[in-house]
Amino acid sequence: MWDRSGVPPAIATIETPELGDRSYAIFAGGEAVVVDPQRDIDRVLTVLSERGARLSHVVETHIHNDYVSGGPELCRVTGATLVIPAGESVGYARHPIADGERIQVGDLTLVARHTPGHTATHMAYVLEEEGRPVAAFTGGSMLLGSVGRTDLSGPWVTDRLSHMQHRSARRLSDELPDDAAILPTHGFGSLCSAGFPVGAPDTADARHQRAENPALLMNEDAFVTRLVSGMDAFPRYYSYIAPRNREGAGEADLGLPTLSDATELAERARAGEWVVDLRERRAFAARHLIGTLAFELSDPMTTYLGWLLPWGSPLSLIGPSVNEVAAARRALARIGIESIVACGVSDGEHGEDPWAGLATGSYPVVGFLDLKPFAGAPGEVVVDVRLGTEWRDGHLQSAIHIPLHELPDRFDDVPAGRVWVHCAAGYRAAVAGSLLARFGRNVMVVSDQFSNAVDAGLEIVSSRD
């Protein structure tokens, strides 16, 4: 029987918090179906092995923009059937599934539901037990307290897809009983989410969504207006991912090059290559090789490094240990970044200094309270690197706005003087600080919650109409 309090026990959730996404495996009668697998399929194979299940199908809700799918490779390895929404042109063998088609998983049934909006061909899959819906794999359609964004296919179809998104969410809602589990792929920090400011629970059923999801609470025109007005920039690498998923990706390369010494890494940074330091942001600020860049190994790393790195450029990684470098390598492979040309570790053996004799830099990491006496003063520049929607909701009266993803092309827009750079919590500020330091600027990185700016006595203004 199903545990109606949360995710049914016959379903395993495979989380990828770095991208804010989830994949799922459904088990019944010794068989399994996997929904929206990530590139590193070894995680899926482990779950299948633990359950002793034979994989019969891999189903995709849509052609993904935010990660390279492991579907084609998983099917090649296991012999499973790959299911793709009908209407998508892809370069590999698949079953194009249409609305209403059914897939049997032991004594359970998956029913395809055409739910356009996030993409035009998007499919959700309703899981039935004895003819009764018990869960819905909603992909990028209905999310928890939100929906998938509708602008990834291009501005010329955003309005039409937004209307479709509203209707698709309503269609799913009308079909599901209150206790049916809602299991989306996106929406756990993914920038594929439309970002409605709704406090959604970690797991939810249809009843919760009917009480909380704007698509189910607002009329169509009001919903579309709100949805479209809330759209902000999305990572540049998205434009490379969808074509890669239509071509089909092979086995992920998770190997590492032979460890390089610090001199080689320093030379690469000096030559202008991207040499990324994965250490905690304060450790980087305290001492780093000149020209290296700060991308702390935590959940935001994949998204922001993928967003900023010129696509296809050689990349080197520095971490406290080989394990941290390997973790970054895996995370980046999920979005198709595999051009790792060198790697090294920052912590020397037996306490020796691996950077001895090499040029290193440092800069302060501060809070909003430290900024307060200098905000607006001559020679002091405050740069807010948050997204446009965040800026419009409220920003420091003394700040200028340059979103992080625009900064590499807008260094000349930063006025002369000492630069205090901030974001919402500190991650993006740390990245921006390292970019500005590489450009030769005198940097102060504000690593602090933006809500603390008010407590520090800084004036906040809004750009909303």
Q: Is 276 in contact with 305 (CB distance < 8 Å)?
A: yes
What DSSP assignment string belongs to 244-273? HHHH---------PPPPPHHHHHHHHHTT-
The predicted model gives 428-453 an average pLDDT of 97
pLDDT digits (tens, 9 = 90+) for 177-187: 999 999 999 98
Instruction: Provide the pLDDT for residue 257.
Output: 87
**Could you give the CA distance from residue 399 to residue 410 in angstroms, rounded to a whole number?**
15
If one counts every other C-beta atom within 10 angstroms of the C-beta of residue 339, the result is 15
- Whether the predicted pLDDT of 415 surpasses 80: yes
**Could you give the CA distance from residue 170 to residue 173 in angstroms, rounded to a whole number?**
5
Q: Is 346 in contact with 318 (CB distance < 8 Å)?
A: yes
**For residues 296-320, b (16+ Cβ closer than 10 Å) or e, as one string?**
bbebbbbbbbbbbbeeeeebbbbbb
**Could you give the CA distance from residue 290 to residue 239 in angstroms, rounded to a whole number?**
32
The pLDDT mean for the chain works out to 93
CB-based burial label for 61 (10 Å; 0-12, 13-18, 19+): buried
The predicted model gives 140-169 an average pLDDT of 95
Q: Are strands 365-366 and 380-384 parallel, antiparallel or unpaired?
A: unpaired
Residue where the block lists tokens 């892809």? 90
Residue where the block lists tokens 């993904």? 64
The predicted model gives 402-419 an average pLDDT of 97
pLDDT digits (tens, 9 = 90+) for 310-350: 999 999 999 999 999 999 999 999 999 988 999 999 876 65
Band of residue 191 on the pLDDT scale cut at 50, 70, 90: confident
- Whether the predicted pLDDT of 465 surpasses 70: no
Instruction: Provide the pLDDT for residue 200.
Output: 47
Instruction: Provide the pLDDT for residue 395.
Output: 97
Instruction: Provide the pLDDT for residue 187.
Output: 87
Residue (of 427, 314, 433) closest to 18 by Cα position: 427
Q: Residue 409 gets which letter from DSSP?
A: G
The predicted model gives 180-199 an average pLDDT of 82
Q: Name the strand (E) or helix (H) holding 412.
A: none
The predicted model gives 369-387 an average pLDDT of 97
Rounded to two decimals, the pTM is: 0.93
Percent of the chain with pLDDT over 70: 95
pLDDT digits (tens, 9 = 90+) for 285-295: 999 999 999 99
- Whether the predicted pLDDT of 271 surpasses 80: yes
pLDDT-wise least confident of 17-26, 104-113, 174-183, 252-261: 252-261
Instruction: Provide the pLDDT for residue 1.
Output: 35
Instruction: Provide the pLDDT for residue 398.
Output: 95
pLDDT-wise least confident of 6-10, 172-176, 261-265: 6-10
Instruction: Provide the pLDDT for residue 225.
Output: 95
Instruction: Provide the pLDDT for residue 349.
Output: 61
Spatial strand order of the sheet with 418-422 comes to: 365-366, 443-446, 418-422, 380-384, 399-401
Instruction: Provide the pLDDT for residue 203.
Output: 61
Q: Residue 238 gets which letter from DSSP?
A: H
**Could you give the CA distance from residue 335 to residue 244 in angstroms, rounded to a whole number?**
10
Residues 6 or more apart from 411 whose CB is under 8 A from it? 435, 436, 439, 441
Dig out the tokens for 4 from the structure.
Answer: 């109606």
Domains in the chain (CATH in brackets) are 11-247 (3.60.15.10), 262-361 (3.40.250.10), 365-461 (3.40.250.10)
Band of residue 172 on the pLDDT scale cut at 50, 70, 90: very high
Q: Are strands 21-28 and 123-129 parallel, antiparallel or unpaired?
A: unpaired
Reading phi first (left if > 0) and then psi (alpha if -120 to 50, else beta), residue 82 is in: beta
pLDDT digits (tens, 9 = 90+) for 118-141: 999 999 999 999 999 999 999 999
Band of residue 201 on the pLDDT scale cut at 50, 70, 90: low
**Could you give the CA distance from residue 187 to residue 36 in angstroms, rounded to a whole number?**
14
**Could you give the CA distance from residue 411 to residue 309 in angstroms, rounded to a whole number?**
16
Residue (of 345, 350, 268, 335) closest to 305 by Cα position: 335
Percent of the chain with pLDDT over 90: 88
pLDDT digits (tens, 9 = 90+) for 85-103: 999 999 999 999 999 999 9
Residue (of 450, 389, 440) closest to 411 by Cα position: 440
